[in-house]
């Protein structure tokens, strides 16, 4: 037994004896690869999520919610720790979650919660550190796979969403003791797309007879083709939408079971995702290595005690904020956690709009530099602030020096089709652009260093922002 486990157990006993426990349960559901703008709940034209739409009036929906990375492992680590990748350390597929990092389930165990995980994605493997704090970890994937070398063929070997949710409800009824925290990771919308025949038929392109079947090979086929037939791309999207429809039906049945059992009234149920999916919007398919909206804009539906019913929150927020919100609502201590997110509760309270909220972004570019027998990753970073996005060209993580800076106006250009690259000479930046860069440096500056020349702001930059840059050592 690890020393930290012994210490946590002793602390649990002490705190349970000395403080009252809030009895609200938590079920945190992560639907892998679910982009927000493909949910009819969020206005999508196809009826992909009618069951979630039925339950949405019983909770609050966040329509500008984001992941901070575009693939599973760093995103889920952020959910469970409220740390950005630069802090929890998962950047590449060779990284695991450090045992030195304290997770949300560890903190909740100290507070007297039963903690359970039901995981269909092998990226969240116990051998990668994701079992920390869970008393019960149900790995619903092929056991003999190599967690450090997960290949596309490993995904279809996992439990379906219906199977994973059936396992969850059975265990919660038979084994869980209130209060409990259950993490549920579903996988069906992840490629390959193999929806039920009825869902595939409902969403299929009428009369389609082309080669697209939803296989893993279709991802590369479409991304590498010199020209893509519109019908092929439309069928590819239709199969993805059919997968979402199946997941929605399974989630609806799961919520129905909770409701009939009387559990929903005393349980926080969160439905979100770890990242989205690209369909050639920026030249690729699938996910990972990019920070465009189709890959990082994800849903969040929150149903639970004290959460407003039928409310839509329009503020920016992200996965890093989930753990602080739960800690806030449950009235427990974030024992040992170093929270980088902020509670979402002020956003759904009366007058809670917060235009100053931002979302930091970090992503492994896929490029590695070999030096002195080690592999150094290139990382792209960025910031969402109101309706503007700043992306920093990938740079070597060990050199902490960013490259080209690109700005998007998401209000005028929601598809990010009109990137605007900032001039190398900061004197040519507008005050708004300089302030955006300075804001990013202030929030991300602890681990990110741009070349000093890139941070010499124009004279019009407010003194407050100049002071921020000066405090970080970028200005004399």
The residues spanned by each domain of the chain are 21-348, 358-471
Over range 213-240, report the average pLDDT: 97
What percentage of the chain has pLDDT greater than the value 90?
Answer: 76
What are 396's strand-pairing partners? Answer: 378
User: Residues 43, 49, 53, CA angle at the centre, nearest 5°?
Assistant: 75
Pick from 365, 426, 374: nearest CA to 395 = 365
What's the confidence (pLDDT) of residue 371?
Answer: 79
Radius of gyration of the chain (CA): 22
- Dist. CA 349–CA 101, nearest whole Å: 31
Q: Pick the residue with more confidence: 93 or 79? A: 79
Q: Pick the residue with more confidence: 147 or 251? A: 251
Residues 175, 261, 308, 30: what is their CA dihedral angle, to the nearest 10 degrees? 50
What's the confidence (pLDDT) of residue 401?
Answer: 62
Specify the fold of 21-348. Answer: Alkaline Phosphatase, subunit A (3.40.720)
Burial class (CB in 10 A: 0-12, 13-18, 19+), 136: middle
- Indicate if the pLDDT at residue 338 is higher than 60: yes
- Indicate if the pLDDT at residue 5 is higher than 50: no
Over range 146-169, report the average pLDDT: 92
Over range 338-342, report the average pLDDT: 96
What's the confidence (pLDDT) of residue 3?
Answer: 45
User: Residues 336, 119, 332, CA angle at the centre, nearest 5°?
Assistant: 30
Extract the tokens encoding 197: 């025949």
- Indicate if the pLDDT at residue 286 is higher than 60: yes
Residue 30 contacts residue 183 (beta carbons within 8 Å) = yes
User: Mind giving me the DSSP string for 364-413?
Assistant: EEEEEEEETTEEEEEEEEEEEETTEEEEEEEEETTTT----EEEEETTT-
Residue 75 contacts residue 323 (beta carbons within 8 Å) = no
Give the distance, in angstroms, between the CA of residue 13 and the centroid of all CA atoms in the same chain: 33
Strand-strand pairing, 114-119 and 358-371: unpaired
Q: How confident is the model at residue 462 (pLDDT cuts 50, 70, 90)?
A: low
Strand-strand pairing, 405-409 and 420-421: antiparallel
Over range 138-146, report the average pLDDT: 91
Over range 85-104, report the average pLDDT: 93
Pick from 417, 398, 400, 399: nearest CA to 409 = 417
- Indicate if the pLDDT at residue 465 is higher than 70: no
| Whole-structure pTM value | 0.90
pLDDT for 113-141, tens place per residue?
999 999 999 999 999 999 999 999 999 99
The owner of tokens 């990771």 is 185
């Amino acid at each position: 037994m690890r020393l930290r486990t012994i210490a946590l157990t002793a602390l649990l006993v002490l705190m349970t004896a000395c403080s009252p426990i809030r009895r609200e349960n938590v079920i945190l559901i992560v639907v892998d690869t679910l982009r927000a703008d493909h949910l009819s709940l969020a206005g999508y034209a196809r009826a992909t999520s009618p069951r979630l739409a039925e339950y949405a009036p019983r909770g609050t929906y966040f329509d500008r919610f984001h992941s901070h990375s575009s693939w599973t492992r760093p995103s889920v680590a952020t959910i469970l720790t409220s740390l950005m990748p630069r802090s929890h350390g998962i950047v590449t597929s060779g990284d695991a979650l450090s045992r030195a990092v304290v997770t949300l389930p560890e903190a909740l165990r100290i507070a007297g919660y039963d903690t359970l995980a039901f995981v269909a994605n092998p990226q969240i493997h116990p051998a990668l550190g994701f079992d920390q704090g869970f008393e019960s970890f149900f790995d619903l994937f092929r056991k003999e796979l190599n967690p450090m070398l997960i290949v596309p063929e490993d995904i279809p070997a996992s439990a379906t969403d219906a199977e994973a949710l059936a396992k969850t409800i059975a265990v919660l009824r038979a084994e869980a003791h209130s209060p409990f925290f259950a993490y549920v990771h579903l996988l069906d919308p992840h490629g390959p797309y193999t929806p039920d025949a009825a869902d595939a038929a409902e969403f299929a392109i009428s009369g389609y007879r082309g080669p697209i079947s939803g296989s893993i090979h279709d991802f590369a086929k479409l991304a590498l083709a010199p020209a893509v037939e519109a019908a092929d791309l439309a069928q590819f999207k239709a199969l993805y939408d059919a997968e979402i429809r199946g997941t929605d039906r399974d989630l609806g049945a799961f919520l129905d079971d909770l409701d009939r059992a009387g559990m929903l009234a005393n349980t926080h149920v969160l439905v979100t995702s770890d990242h989205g999916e690209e369909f050639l919007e920026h030249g690729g398919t699938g996910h990972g290595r990019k920070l465009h909206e189709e890959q990082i804009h994800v849903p969040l539906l929150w149903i639970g005690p004290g959460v407003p019913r039928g409310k839509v929150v329009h503020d920016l927020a992200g996965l890093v904020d989930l753990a602080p919100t739960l800690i806030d609502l449950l009235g427990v201590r974030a024992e040992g956690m170093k929270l980088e997110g902020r509670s979402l509760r002020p956003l759904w309270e009366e007058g809670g709009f917060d235009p100053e909220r931002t979302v930091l972004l970090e992503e492994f570019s896929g490029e590695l530099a070999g030096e002195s027998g080690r592999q150094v990753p290139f990382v792209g970073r960025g910031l969402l602030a109101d309706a503007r996005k700043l992306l920093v060209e990938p740079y070597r993580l060990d050199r902490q020096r960013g490259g080209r800076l690109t700005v998007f106006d998401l209000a005028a250009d929601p598809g990010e089709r009109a990137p605007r690259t900032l001039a190398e000479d900061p004197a040519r930046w507008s005050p708004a652009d300089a302030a955006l860069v300075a804001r990013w440096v202030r929030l991300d500056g602890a681990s990110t260093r741009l070349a000093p020349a890139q941070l010499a702001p124009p004279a019009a930059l407010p003194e407050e922002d100049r002071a921020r840059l000066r405090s970080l050592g970028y200005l004399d």
